[in-house]
Amino acid sequence: VQLVESGGGMVQAGGSLRLSCAASGFTFDDYAIGWFRQAPGKEREGVSCISSSDGYTYYGDSVKGRFTISSDNAKKTVVLQMSSLKPEDTAVYFCGAGETRWVLAGASDSRLYTYWGQGTQVTVAS
């Protein structure tokens, strides 16, 4: 099983970044893919989640209206398009995969996710 994040970097406030999570080694259609972030000294925060099998999506309150999640089932890739970035969005962003039947009970709960990527740094300069 492998989840590989890419697309992080540094951007000025108000800018955009596109994160990708490429999945392999498990039945993609049975899993929901979530994005979480963790800033230094803070707990891991649920950012967004998508279930490709039923179109379910979740967004944390702090990113609603600014981030968009999408899934390419053929490529087994989930993309998080981040716009209007703020300095408080600075964190390491992780993608996780959890069985859809469990994740739908609480998409922002990291305990419901089984597999994790290594993370990618996003830095938003003010």
pLDDT < 70: residue spans in the chain? none
**CA atoms of 116 and 63, how far apart (whole Å):** 21
Q: How far is CA 47 from CA 1, 27, 34, 38, 79, in A?
A: 22, 23, 7, 10, 12
Report pLDDT for 30. Answer: 94
> Residue 33, Cβ neighbours under 10 Å: how many?
29
Which residues are CB-contacts of 16 (< 8 A; sequence separation ≥ 6)?
81, 82, 83, 84, 85
Task: Please name the residue that has the structure tokens 């993608």.
Answer: 95
Q: Each residue of 17-37: pLDDT tens digit?
A: 999 999 999 999 999 999 999
